[in-house]
Amino acid sequence: MFDNSKFQNYMLKLTIFCGTLLSFFTTLSAQTIHFKTYRDTIHKISFDIPNYWTIKYSKEQDGVICIPTTKRQKDIYKDCFEGIVFRMDFDDYGLDTLLFQQFDKIGDNYVTSDRVTHDVPVKFINGGNWKGIRHDNICGISCNDNGFHAAAGECQFFYFCKGNKTVEIQTNGRALDDKVIARLVSSFKFID
């Protein structure tokens, strides 16, 4: 026989839990993010990143990476994301070559593949002195503690192109906050 009081108790606990979770995420999204400008004089670029991140060359990763600097951010990125927010690559080709070599064209649209589908849409982006593209992919992540590997991450790719120069920023399985994306893209520029 169905026990209505147990069901009502369960639903009450579930409602409280969901309300608490919603409150937590609302608080997180309502927090103000302070930014600083990252300048790379070798590759002649600049863009804004949150104050609690830094960009550096990593011999271990054999490239330029962005890492968190505060305990809270380090905790977010430690296990399944290798402590890395994003990686950066620098290539000597422009947007047309990038699209031709790395993406498929279906009608007027470009697509790429991820672990789930073969038609991930590419979005065009642009700034004051560059044009580019971005896409979000389902990607594999490896959790350090238990060796677990799954197609559970959300990797984001941003390509900023000017002439025959392309800067690629690729997240490491954790999607960036919408405010961070908007600021990164709107502030990105090639320094002449």
Q: State whether 92 and 165 are in the same domain.
A: yes
> What's the rounded Cα separation, in Å, for the pair 166 and 69?
27
Q: Which domain holds residue 93?
A: 34-190
Q: What's the pLDDT at 47?
A: 97
Count of the separate structural domains present in the chain: 2
pLDDT in tens, 65-95: 999 999 999 888 876 667 889 999 999 999 9
Q: What's the pLDDT at 147?
A: 56
The pairing of beta strand 165-171 with beta strand 189-190: unpaired
Give me the percent of the chain exceeding a pLDDT of 70. Answer: 77
Q: State whether 8 and 79 are in the same domain.
A: no
Report yes or no: 190 and 130 within 8 Å, Cβ to Cβ: yes
For the domain that residue 134 is a member of, what is the CATH number?
3.40.1000.10
Q: State whether 24 and 89 are in the same domain.
A: no
Report yes or no: 168 and 92 within 8 Å, Cβ to Cβ: no
Q: State whether 26 and 93 are in the same domain.
A: no
Q: State whether 158 and 112 are in the same domain.
A: yes
Report yes or no: 174 and 77 within 8 Å, Cβ to Cβ: yes
Q: State whether 25 and 109 are in the same domain.
A: no
Give me the half-sphere count of Cα atoms (radius 13 Å) on the Cβ side of residue 96: 2
Q: Report residue 87 as tokens.
A: 């990686």
Q: State whether 8 and 58 are in the same domain.
A: no
Q: State whether 50 and 125 are in the same domain.
A: yes
Q: State whether 97 and 40 are in the same domain.
A: yes
Residues of the chain with pLDDT under 70: 1-31, 79-81, 142-152
Residue 76's CB is within 10 A of a number of other CB atoms, namely: 14
Q: State whether 93 and 153 are in the same domain.
A: yes
> What's the rounded Cα separation, in Å, for the pair 55 and 65?
6
* CB burial of residue 137 (10 Å; 0-12, 13-18, 19+): buried
Average pLDDT, the chain: 83
3-state secondary structure of 114: coil
Q: State whether 88 and 135 are in the same domain.
A: yes
- Tokens 């009081």 sit on residue: 5
Q: State whether 24 and 60 are in the same domain.
A: no
